Amino acid sequence: MTEPVSESAGSAPTRRAVLDLLKRNGEQTVAQLGAALGLSGVGVRRHLETLEHVGLVRQTTRPQGRGRPAYVYALTEMGHDLFPRNYHQLVGQLLEAATSELGPEAVERLFDHRQQELAELYAGRTRGRPLPELASALAAIQDENGYMADCTSAGDGDFVVSEHNCAIARVAGSWPTACAHELALFQQLAGPGVEVERIAHIQAGDPVCAYVLRAAGENGRPRPPGD
């Protein structure tokens, strides 16, 4: 049972309490939340408005007999993502089972298949793009997928895509091929006119994963160093 909180309670703990109640109980009205938290309706609405604004909570309606529908609040998918989900454990177990039953080649085929699926999914955002737009597009794609990615110019026409979070860190720690396929995916999306090189790697102890993108040499061959 959630302990009552006062109107003067810190905003962050109170909003977390609202999220916890919505996670445990599902859709809730303002009155239900207020009763559980010991807050007035005005206080609850203030916190709900903030949570709606940042995309963690959504308002909907629930029929209630002949009267007007009741307004209820529920977590969005982003709100649910605030709570632990052991996807990495399930993925690890499935990969271990695939190795045991089908051999290590089966795992490679799975990652190959995933790479091709992603390449087809994102090709429209990267194909034929000038290098600056390509680098920005790759950073945007990875940022959308939870890697906290950004793109910066490195001078001399080179661009660096940096990932400040590894969204699959536990899987990558046990299955290095995941990282190899990320590099291969970037190379595939970039095309033969662009060289992609990993220059930092979280799994190797670096604070970020970073890739430098530069124009390839004539006929798609990488430029000699210092060119």
Kindly report, residue by residue over 132-170, the tens digit of the pLDDT. Answer: 999 999 999 999 998 999 999 998 899 999 999 998 888
Helices of type H across 29-168: 30-37, 41-53, 77-80, 87-102, 104-126, 131-144
What confidence score (pLDDT) does residue 86 get? 66
pTM of the model: 0.64
SS3 content of the chain, % helix, strand, coil (to 5): 50, 20, 30
Whether residue 56 contacts residue 76, with contact meaning beta carbons closer than 8 Å, is answered with yes
In this model, does residue 77 exceed pLDDT 90?
Answer: no
Q: Give the per-residue pLDDT at 19.
A: 94
The values of phi and psi at residue 29, to 5°, are: -90, 170
What confidence tier does 214 reach under pLDDT thresholds 50, 70, 90?
Answer: very high
As a whole number of angstroms, the distance between CA 227 and CA 224 comes to: 6
